[in-house]
Structure 1
Amino acid sequence: MKQVFFVLALLLLCQSTSANELLLSAGGGPQPDSDQRNRTYGIDYSFKKFEKSHRQHIHLGVSYTKVKTDTDEHRSFYAISIYPQLNLYPRRQSWGQPYFFVRALGPSYISSNQLGDRHQDNHFAFQAQVGYAARIDWQGREDLVLMVSWKHFSNANIFSDNDGIDMPFVVNVGLNF
């Protein structure tokens, strides 16, 4: 794990492109393999962007996520995450740019290791998110960002209790400045 953080720190020092993308999120839906329904809201800030090509961008960012459920006990937690995000663009466009994105293995601190009937072994988890997005021209640039996705927290079976926590439908809206 230390090597991963060292490599990321080295990449940050060697690159000069900042992302400066701020997103607000909200969503939720039924938890798979459970009777509970989860809701979420949060804020994401991408602070670094690496352009591998005009079709591939990698973003680094931080995220605050609040998750609530409709059960009687263990009704909420918050998560603070660091995430890598891969954006894959199908082609260039002049009006705006659609793309597919994936966040994987974003180390996260979760404030509670239980949400409703879902259990995590401890307060360490990973954030994963996958979805479709678009950068929309606003004020002459691709400033407006709209995303629709599935968001997931789990410990990737590193620890024994690993009931994933899911929000099947999340909408992010934000600005790229």
Structure 2
Amino acid sequence: MQKNNLNEVSALVLRLLAIIISIFFFQQAAANELLISAGGGPQPDSPQTNRTYGIDYSFKKFEKSHRQHIHLGVSYTRVETDTQENNSFHAVSIYPQLNLYPRKQSWGQPYFFVRALGPSYISSNQLGDRHQDNHFAFQAQVGYAARINWQSSEDLVVMVSWKHFSNANLFSDNEGIDMPFVINVGLNF
């Protein structure tokens, strides 16, 4: 009975994500940033090594000041591990991202960023020896980035970060899935 309830919750979350993504894609975008990502590394507290690649699209930007920007975006992530069974999953996420800039803009604007509590649908609730209770998780990512002047504006974006998926202890099984080193490269257009 509990498994059926969890499947219903997962289906509901997936439908909500699809509705939210479609609403935001059909709105006029205030920010357009497209990034590709790749990375991986050892899973803490586990003998497995995880790898990832994906694509992110930030479609909204809210400037609180020249030092604080909030981005909203969607993300597709593929995660693989080096185990024989349960060795991959796909994740679709919606994320808020806070960018903190140390100074006013210059030739290449460095910044610190945090993505937290990005609701995600993961296609499998197990990756190697890591277990999640169901297909609902949150994406978290923290790192350092820079917008680099290219063709007379800050068009190029480079990010280095740590990426994590877990359900924030909302459900009983919550062994986080980590990629300790991820590089995102893309364009701001």
**Normalization by structure 1: what TM-score?**
0.91
Which residue identity does 2:68 align to in structure 1? Q
Which residue identity does 2:146 align to in structure 1? A
Say yes or no: does 1:42 pair with 2:69: no
Which residue identity does 1:45 align to in structure 2? Y
Separation of aligned partners in 2, 1:86 and 1:17 = 18
Which residue identity does 1:100 align to in structure 2? F
Q: Would you tell me which structure has more helix in proportion to its own residues? A: 2
Separation of aligned partners in 1, 2:105 and 2:65 = 15
CA contact (8 A) 1:73 1:116 kept: yes
Say yes or no: does 1:86 pair with 2:98: yes
Task: Could you list the structure 1 runs, at least 4 aligned residues long, displaced by more than 2 angstroms after superposition.
Answer: none
Separation of aligned partners in 2, 1:125 and 1:108 = 5
Which residue does the alignment assign to 1:173? 185
**Normalization by structure 2: what TM-score?**
0.85
1:76-125 deviation digits (Å, cap 9, x = unpaired)? 00000000000000001321100000000000000000000000000000
**Structure 1, unpaired ranges of 5+:** none
Separation of aligned partners in 2, 1:145 and 1:64 = 18
Which residue does the alignment assign to 1:152? 164
Q: Out of 65, 71, 76, which is 2:77 matched to?
A: 65
Which residue identity does 2:37 align to in structure 1? S
Question: How many Å apart are 1:150 and its aligned residue?
Answer: 0.1
Separation of aligned partners in 2, 1:168 and 1:139 = 32
Separation of aligned partners in 1, 2:124 and 2:70 = 30
Question: How many Å apart are 1:19 and its aligned residue?
Answer: 1.2
Separation of aligned partners in 2, 1:172 and 1:19 = 17
Q: Would you tell me which structure has more strand in proportion to its own residues? A: 1
Which residue does the alignment assign to 1:105? 117
1:118-146 deviation digits (Å, cap 9, x = unpaired)? 00000000000000000000000000000
Separation of aligned partners in 1, 2:153 and 2:105 = 12
CA contact (8 A) 1:41 1:65 kept: yes
Question: How many residues align structurally?
Answer: 168
Q: Secondary structure at the match of 1:149?
A: strand
Separation of aligned partners in 1, 2:106 and 2:125 = 46
Q: Out of 131, 134, 137, which is 2:143 matched to?
A: 131
Q: Out of 152, 155, 158, which is 1:140 matched to?
A: 152
Question: How many Å apart are 1:17 and its aligned residue?
Answer: 6.5
